[in-house]
Chain A
């Protein structure tokens, strides 16, 4: 039984790694379930001991990986407040927003040997909830695209702009048009609380999609 605090950089990286892995799987699953891309490009893979759908398209995978690679340092420092996967219609108006609210307790302490398996169980529940979310959501219009937004605390993005984490993969401040959604309807999906991270997933949906 070890007690590690946030100052222990390795532990912060561990949490960031876990979250980024989860977000990658979640984004792929959202793209599959909401039919943003044809289901033919997806392939069944295993994560957290359950089957999940992951895309095989190399450029899409690279884009998602680069995105999360840039987000990881923000999560490490607990600067990322929300990670939002926005699905937009042809006119680039957001239609759905999957919001992952992440918060990490300031003083972390691992007091349980089964912590990671417990976290795995909670993340598995998230995956399951995303799989069935289309029961509570209206179907999207055809020709949708997606993007990932990160809401950060304070002015953490200033540092991001100074240091280009990945070359030719710049992050820019989001347009108001992409952030604001008309008449949003809030549908909560899942909440999890654990020793290392608290996460909440909800969907904001536009009342009229077409």
Chain B
């Protein structure tokens, strides 16, 4: 093996100030991973002998670990200083090799993952080209098999999520130093119990790291004191668009239980808001419905009273113009009420006449088509909902009112407006149909 690789690594580490992991090196130089590991080891050895620049290294240790009688296989990335310590704790060391070499002292394991991310992404299809792990039956699926697998996968996705959570709990990572200070400082922010101090540990597999990180993050997050309502509508753009469904599914129970638990992540807040809002909406709907019925009941009484008023008023109207402005008012107040509780009014109306007959006056909305010849000699057909008074005691009143009311009430649907204006002079006071133009009628009546 020629010695050029030493210069290459030297260039990456010292000149570019990169973190050189064995995986990145193997993909960059196109060598088998085991060769890359040896290269790093030689380089480190060489530099340490020269004792030139200060270099830091991380190692990957895997082996058997006995914990309370339970034996587990542990794979960890550890700092050089902790290597011997860690090896001593293990019952059997299966493999130790250099994981990365860098100039900077890394405070946490995040950059190690970031280094490999892009390298693997660029070589996604053949990232295991130089890998030592081989499986003959691991062959990419054909597109047909892929589709089938996707359909099957959609059903049992919740189950594997729970399994993963279980897995992470079993493989308890090695706790590094400074486990206590985070608890103390985090405890200042958190209302709930202090988070697990697993953040400081380094785990080998990047995927596992990410899963653990995803699931741990919501548990270990302290309560933010910021107003949650403000955050719902705040300008925080989604910082974690990649925050996967995994995370949202896992803490669902916790998010529902602790709706007051203030979370700083907008997405999760939206999640909590979403289940809360439908509940509120249903409550509101039920409330509004009950209100409507109450209102309609109240309106019936109002209408009756106004009816009585109107009957009395037309007599002074014809003689006295000052009284006229008053007449639109009962009409105006009716307008908004009449269109809305159509359906509630009708069944009520229909039910009432059977019970009360003589004294109670009712109004009923009926679709009527009325054809008549107006003053100009034109045939006008007007259709529309006509609220006609319905009462047996007032039968003789009906026809006269109907004839005068129809043109006014059918105004919204009619085409000729001039005719209506003329006829309104006499009938505006009687008009109990709720249209906004009734108020305009009063305006023209002053002529």
- CB of B114 within 8 A of CB of A58, answer no
| A90 contacts the other chain (CB 8 A) | no
Would you give the shortest CB distance from B19 to chain A, in whole angstroms?
Answer: 6
- CB of B118 within 8 A of CB of A40, answer no
Residue of B nearest to A52 (CB): B110
**A contact residues around B224 at 8 Å (CB):** 56, 58, 61
- Which residues of chain A from 43 to 102 have a CB within 8 Å of any chain B CB? 43-47, 49-53, 56-58, 61-62, 65, 69
Given the known interface contacts A56-B189, A135-B102, the answer about A44 and B17 at a Cβ–Cβ threshold of 8 Å is no
**B contact residues around A32 at 8 Å (CB):** 107
Would you give the shortest CB distance from B435 to chain A, in whole angstroms?
Answer: 43
Contact digits for A126-164, partner B, Cβ 8 Å, 1 yes 0 no: 011101111110000000000000000000000000000
Would you give the shortest CB distance from B193 to chain A, in whole angstroms?
Answer: 15
**A contact residues around B18 at 8 Å (CB):** 132
| B440 contacts the other chain (CB 8 A) | no
B242 touches which of A43, A46, A52, A62 (Cβ 8 Å): A46
- CB of B114 within 8 A of CB of A44, answer no
**B contact residues around A69 at 8 Å (CB):** 235
How far, in angstroms, from A51 to B117 measured CA to CA in the complex? 11
The stretch of B178-186, B273-281, B332-340, B415-423 that contacts the partner chain: B178-186
Given the known interface contacts A49-B242, A128-B111, A135-B103, the answer about A58 and B226 at a Cβ–Cβ threshold of 8 Å is yes
The stretch of B69-77, B214-222, B377-385 that contacts the partner chain: B214-222
**B contact residues around A33 at 8 Å (CB):** 107
Would you give the shortest CB distance from A172 to chain B, in whole angstroms?
Answer: 23
Residue of B nearest to A41 (CB): B185
| B104 contacts the other chain (CB 8 A) | yes
| B284 contacts the other chain (CB 8 A) | no
**A contact residues around B105 at 8 Å (CB):** 134-135
- CB of B114 within 8 A of CB of A47, answer no
| B236 contacts the other chain (CB 8 A) | yes
Which A residues form the contact surface with B (CB < 8 A)?
Answer: 17, 21, 24-25, 32-33, 38-41, 43-47, 49-53, 56-58, 61-62, 65, 69, 121, 124-125, 127-129, 131-136
Further 12 A-B residue pairs, CB within 8 A, beyond A25-B239, A39-B107, A134-B104: A39-B182, A40-B178, A41-B186, A41-B189, A44-B110, A46-B240, A50-B117, A51-B108, A53-B108, A56-B264, A124-B114, A128-B114
Closest A-B pairs by Cβ, 9 of them: A135-B104, A40-B185, A51-B110, A135-B103, A50-B114, A132-B104, A131-B111, A40-B182, A58-B225
